[in-house]
Every structure is written in structure tokens, then in C-alpha cells.
């Protein structure tokens, strides 16, 4: 069987602040998986003021989701530049697994209101579970931390509404295909336990196939 036949393209979905980044990091640590993060890619481009980064910031500052055509162009550009780009492109629209993280809105609001970043490096701190050693400053440089415009309450409400409106049809589509798994909860550790158990069962059926999971922020 060729390399393409051994891939398991998958997406990790969830609203902003639902814990996708934390869960993706745990997934790649506990399973022989690779990841591709749309959020990390956006942050990289925004920090460097690339054409995509500047364009994306216009939407995020307004609390709007970045249009599909911009995210698609950015994703395909990145995939084409990677050694496995051709394989990824062949599979990018043929997902075999979609994991949807369903976290209550009030929990998301609390999490993101406590989120602060170091602008030049992209390091993220959370006052609830990963605070800086000194209030308001980066652990490594001592530079001041800032709250992202799109994490502020007035912008966040628009982001969450836009996410709900624009992803409903996506979830319905993959539910109809039989590849959607929704995991609900308000605590990341409990959600992780469910994700781990689900993936363990899923991969037991794959035997020795090489597996690739692609968490994307949608």
C-alpha cells in the first residue's frame, strides 16, 4: 500500500478558546501523529506582517472569522512548501475523522478573558492555569504582555457568533458522512480523557498504518 493509503486526515474543531491547541499538543505527544495548526500558521504570518497576516488581522480585529478563500490559500501555500505537501494536498478535502470540541460559551469567555500574549514571540499565558511568573510580563524577556484585540469581550462575542453561524453547516455535513465525533465538557483534562479513549479505539482498528492528524481552527 502506498503512502497516501496509509494516511488518516483528520480535523480537530471547536470554538475559539475550546482548548484545541492544548488537546492537539497532547494528541501528538501520546500518539504517533503529526499536526498542522491553522491558528499557529496565522500567528506566524501576523507576527511577520506577511500579506496573509496583515489581511487576516483586519478580520480578527473586527471579531470576524477569516474567509474560507484566505485560509485555503494560506493553507495550500504552507502545504506546498513542506516535504509531505503533495500527499497532504491529495487528501486535504477527504477527511476521515472530524473531532468537535463542544465547550460551554461561559467557560470559553472566562478562559479567553484570562489569556495574555507576548507579541514578539507569540508565547501565550493564561492567568487561570498557566500564569506568568511576574504579573503582566513575559517569563523569558520581561517584556509587557498584551491581550489580543480579538480576545476582548466585545470582539469575542462577535467571534463566537460568527463561529456558530458558519460552522453549523460544516458539522451537519460531516455528521451526515458519519465521520463526526462530538466531545462535550467544560474541563480540558476531562475532555482529553475522552479524546484519548476515542483515538485509542480508533487506532486499534488501523493496525500498523502510519497516521496523520491535522488540527485546524475553523
Determine the pLDDT at residue 34.
Answer: 72
Percent of residues in the chain assigned helix, strand, coil, to nearest 5: 50, 10, 40
For 139-175, the pLDDT digits (tens) are 999 999 998 877 877 788 888 988 888 888 888 988 9
Determine the pLDDT at residue 210.
Answer: 47
Determine the pLDDT at residue 53.
Answer: 80
Task: Please answer whether residues 111 and 118 qualify as being in contact, where contact means their C-beta atoms are separated by less than 8 angstroms.
Answer: no
Distance of CA 127 to the CA centre of its chain: 20
Cβ of 52: how many Cβ atoms within 10 Å?
Answer: 21
Q: Which domains does the chain show, CATH number per domain?
A: 4-204 (3.40.50.300)
State the DSSP H helix or E strand holding residue 98, giving kind and residue range, or none if neither: strand 97-102
Q: Flag whether pLDDT at 132 surpasses 70.
A: yes
| Bigger pLDDT: 87 vs 114 | 114
CA–CA gap between residue 79 and residue 92 (Å, rounded): 10
State the DSSP H helix or E strand holding residue 115, giving kind and residue range, or none if neither: strand 115-117
Burial class of residue 119, CB neighbours in 10 A (0-12, 13-18, 19+): middle
pLDDT (average), residues 20-25: 87
* Coil, strand or helix at 18: coil
Determine the pLDDT at residue 4.
Answer: 34
For 43-83, the pLDDT digits (tens) are 777 778 888 888 888 887 777 778 777 777 776 666 555 54
pLDDT (average), residues 103-126: 90
Determine the pLDDT at residue 70.
Answer: 77
CA–CA gap between residue 153 and residue 171 (Å, rounded): 26
CA–CA gap between residue 75 and residue 152 (Å, rounded): 27
pTM: 0.67
Rounded to 10°, the helix 105-113/153-177 angle is 130
Amino acid at each position: 500500500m502506498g503512502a497516501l493509503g496509509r494516511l488518516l486526515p483528520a480535523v480537530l474543531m471547536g470554538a475559539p478558546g475550546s482548548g484545541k491547541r492544548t488537546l492537539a499538543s497532547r494528541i501528538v505527544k501520546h500518539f504517533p501523529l503529526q499536526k498542522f495548526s491553522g491558528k499557529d500558521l496565522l500567528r506566524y504570518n501576523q507576527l511577520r506582517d506577511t500579506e496573509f497576516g496583515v489581511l487576516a488581522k483586519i478580520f480578527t480585529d473586527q471579531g470576524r472569522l477569516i474567509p474560507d478563500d484566505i485560509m485555503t490559500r494560506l493553507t495550500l501555500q504552507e502545504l506546498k512548501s513542506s516535504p509531505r505537501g503533495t500527499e497532504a494536498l491529495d487528501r486535504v478535502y477527504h477527511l476521515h475523522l472530524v473531532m468537535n470540541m463542544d465547550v460551554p460559551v461561559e467557560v470559553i469567555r472566562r478562559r479567553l478573558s484570562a489569556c495574555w500574549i507576548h507579541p514578539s514571540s507569540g508565547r501565550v499565558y493564561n492567568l487561570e492555569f498557566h500564569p506568568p511568573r511576574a504579573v503582566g510580563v513575559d517569563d523569558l524577556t520581561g517584556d509587557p504582555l498584551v491581550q489580543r484585540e480579538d480576545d476582548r469581550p466585545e470582539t469575542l462575542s462577535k467571534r463566537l457568533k460568527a463561529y456558530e453561524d458558519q460552522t453549523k453547516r460544516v458539522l451537519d455535513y460531516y455528521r451526515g458522512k458519519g465521520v463526526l465525533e462530538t466531545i462535550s465538557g467544560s474541563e480540558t483534562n476531562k475532555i482529553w480523557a475522552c479524546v484519548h479513549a476515542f483515538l485509542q479505539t480508533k487506532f486499534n482498528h488501523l493496525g500498523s498504518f502510519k497516521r496523520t492528524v491535522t488540527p485546524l481552527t475553523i
